[in-house]
Structure 1
Amino acid sequence: MTIRLRPHHLLCMLTYVGKGYSPTFVENYERIAARLSAGEEIELIEGPDDICAPLTADPEAHCHGASVTARDAQAQASVARLLGGPLGPGARITPSATLLAHLRKTFATGEIRSACSGCEWSGLCDTVAEEGYLGVRVAP
């Protein structure tokens, strides 16, 4: 199988430590984190993805909002620059140990974090990165 992710979730997966919007959201993310840790391929998509799934029934959920679409565009551009090529919908990425280490290193320096500006989880992500990614659920 393939895990469908929107671009900004390429950043979120780096610091996910088991916290989320609801118990159902966390349970879903835990399953996805295990699949990512096993190296399951990622397909980039536009709009709500497999992580968003528990929230999408609510038309007011933030995953449908313009601010999240803008966050996706920023994350897509940052990660594409880092990886040296286009990264649009349909692009496939394997979350290898090398890739995760590279993404985490540049996340910690702020190089790929422009999309995180204004995110309610940014403080938690700062702490996770500063503490060396202890307790992250997506691990090679």
Structure 2
Amino acid sequence: MYKLRGHHLLCLLGYRGMGYSAEYIENMTRLHHTLRLNPDTIIHLIDGPDHLCEKYPNSGKYHCQDNDIYKRDALILEKLHLKVGKKMQWKEIENSIRKHIFPSDLVNVCETCSWRSYGVCEEGIKQIQQGKGLREVK
């Protein structure tokens, strides 16, 4: 079981092997690979720093505790019709994304995210909408 916060549910869709540090990338790649190959994996939705935040580099401001990140988490969970504390399979999260999130939503729900400019999250949402699951990351 993995603990994830709201916005990381969408970050995983756009993940392409880039990140904040080698340790962060290794952690994110491992989780992404697990979910892609085993969509029955249980996710516990939490409020605050999660499994991915554990490997965020300790250099400067720790953005995982930033109020804007908490707001983004809440907004995304609301949009997905999910609640903090819920435990569910990754494939159920994908189903919720398929029903409730569209690429155009990222303008609002991920407004301040620096990764949004790459356009990979929109591609990831489209892939989920097409029933393809997470894209392979090598």
Query: Same-fold call, TM > 0.5?
Result: yes
Matches of 2:78 and 2:31, distance apart in 1: 24
- Corresponding residue number in structure 2 for 1:100: 94
Whether the aligned pair in 2 keeps the contact of 1:13 and 1:33 (CA below 8 Å) is yes
8 Å CA contact 2:79, 2:100 repeated in 1: no
TM-score (norm 2): 0.76
Listed as ranges, the matches of 1:1-140 within 5 Å are 2-37=1-36, 38-39=38-39, 40-55=41-56, 60-80=61-81, 87-96=82-91, 100=94, 103=97, 107-111=101-105, 114-124=108-118, 126-127=119-120, 129-130=122-123, 133=127, 136-137=135-136
Does the 8 Å contact 1:75/1:113 carry over to 2?
Answer: no
Moved >3 Å (runs of 4+): 56-59, 104-109, 130-135
* Bigger helix fraction: 2
Percent identity between the aligned chains? Answer: 29
How big is the shift at 1:10?
1.1
Q: 1:56 to 1:21 in 2, by over 3 A?
A: closer
Whole-angstrom CA distance in 1 between matches of 2:58 and 2:23: 13
TM-score by length of 1: 0.75
**CA deviation profile, 1:107-139 (whole Å, cap 9, x unmatched):** 443246632011101112x2453485598348x
Could you say what the CA RMSD is over the residues aligned between the two structures, in angstroms? 2.8
1: distance between equivalents of 2:70 and 2:9? 14
TM-superposed deviation, 1:99: 5.0
Is contact 1:56–1:63 with CA below 8 Å preserved after alignment?
Answer: no
Q: Could you list the runs of 5+ residues in structure 2 that have no partner in the other structure? A: none
| Residue identity matched to 1:12 | C
Measured in 2, the distance between the counterparts of 1:105 and 1:127 equals 19
2-structure distance, mates of 1:120, 1:53: 20
Structure 1 runs not aligned, ≥5 long = 81-86
CA shift in 2, pair 1:104/1:112, >3 Å: farther
Q: Any conservation in 2 of the 1:52–1:63 contact (CA below 8 Å)?
A: yes
